[in-house]
Structure 1
């Protein structure tokens, strides 16, 4: 039995079916998943456990959202651009995954894109005799991040709750501003304080200013983002950002 079923490199790996090579002692498995299988660069990316093995090629959402995946396939084909450092190089643009209904596969797809970027970065770095970054990708769960914010901004929150929540919140903020590739999941927050919106604005502004690609998911049409952010920032999200519509009703329970 090989270890390929639990490794995101199972697609491009030429020894994925060789039980003598494909084990938990494989240095590439350890680099991506850690010796335990729950660490490494995949864990550093903060991708939810349910989505840590899914890639664009094998995403179950592909079947139900063929038009969206036509755009996504073309998008991930641009990931080689991350290694072109010339001033004239075309940059990797951003994507806005939208559907009015929840559960149509946006988050699964965003995670699949993040994993596919991680694979491209890891393999491409080794091919160029570079050390892959420890965290080339980060997944920011908007709901989880707002929960952390609320945990230390309520009245009379005990220190043993407020301090760890605050530390985790600001650590995620710093990472999201600088990581080469970010998924900002569920950014359509209408019921947020001005302080929380300000921090979200800081992330988006930093990324747009520094030409860092971001995959957004939201139930808010991109044309209505000015109701969530201010008009200036909404315009910045739309800049160099392709909209990918997801259609149909919720398909939750179909994850792979």
Structure 2
């Protein structure tokens, strides 16, 4: 008996790969998830604190409109990894449902500095306008490294327009930053109005600990 051929859209791997591609999650964070989490003394409190939100991420996004703010002044402590873990989990749980239409992202990973650069120099470009519309409307958005790059009253206002539309629609946003909420509130960073909206219905996580990136160094080549 021959095995029937099923269309690609029925294949779980095909759907997941397509959903992740649309989300623009960088290759480095495609495998960021609760199953690959390497727990140690520095991040155990983060793992335990976020675990309940990871398990119920669909409800948190679609019913509660929960926002997440992950910050720390130090580099390499895992802010983006933990944020991507939340984003990926939502994609895992929704890509096999009717919510996924193969054309529009379920979630979106956005580099804040790159976005502001596009808006500063190419905001009249049709592709940039389409992207901004997607950023405003996607069910789950990750704004990575907010406050990075050159900030100004212009970037603060552009950030407000995005965040305010998502706030009014009750859409969930994850923010990572090297700034705490007080520093972000400066009028030339993102401003008090924007921070107030991001902190509404928000889970805040100070991602402390060591810089993990040097641990990935593969060796040092020295002159003999």
Q: TM-score normalised by the shorter chain: which range applies?
A: 0.7 to 0.9
1:221, CA displacement in angstroms? 0.7
1:56, CA displacement in angstroms? 2.4
1:51 corresponds to which residue? 29
1:113 aligns with 2:86: yes
In structure 2, C-alpha distance between the alignment counterparts of 1:232 and 1:122, rounded to whole Å? 34
Runs of 4+ residues over 6 Å off in structure 1 = none
Query: What residue ranges of structure 2 are gaps of 5+ in the alignment?
Result: 1-7, 217-224
Query: What residue ranges of structure 1 are gaps of 5+ in the alignment?
Result: 1-23, 34-39, 85-89, 154-162
1:169 aligns with 2:128: yes
Where do 1:16-165 residues align within 5 Å?
A: 27-33=11-17, 40-60=18-38, 62-63=39-40, 64-81=42-59, 90-123=63-96, 125=97, 130=98, 132-134=100-102, 135-152=105-122
SS across alignment from 1:140: strand
Which structure is richer in relative contact order (CA contacts within 8 A, separation 6 or more)? 2
How many residues align? The count is 204
Relative to the length of structure 1, the TM-score reads 0.70
SS across alignment from 2:70: strand
Relative to the length of structure 2, the TM-score reads 0.80
CA RMSD of aligned residues (A): 2.6
Q: Provide, for residues 4-58 of structure 1, a one-character-per-residue CA deviation record: whole Å limited to 9, x for no partner.
A: xxxxxxxxxxxxxxxxxxxx9981111222xxxxxx1111001011111221221
SS across alignment from 2:95: helix
In structure 2, C-alpha distance between the alignment counterparts of 1:189 and 1:242, rounded to whole Å? 21
